[in-house]
Amino acid sequence: MQPEMGLLWEVSVVEFLIVTVVLGGAAAWMIGRSTAITWGGWGTCVFYVLLLTVAVRFIHFSLFGGSFFLPPATFGTALHYAVVDFVVLMALAAGGRHVTRSGQMARQYGFLHRSA
Global pTM? 0.87
Contact 9, 15 (CB under 8 A): yes
pLDDT in tens, 56-101: 999 999 999 888 888 888 889 889 999 999 999 999 999 999 999 9
Q: What span, in angstroms and rounded, lies between the C-alpha atoms of 88 and 93?
A: 9
Half-sphere exposure of 86 (CA within 13 A, CB side): 14
pLDDT tens digits for range 36-59: 999 999 999 999 999 999 999 999
Give one DSSP letter per residue of 58-103, joined into a string.
Answer: HHHHHHH----S-SGGGHHHHHHHHHHHHHHHHHHHHHHHHHHHHH
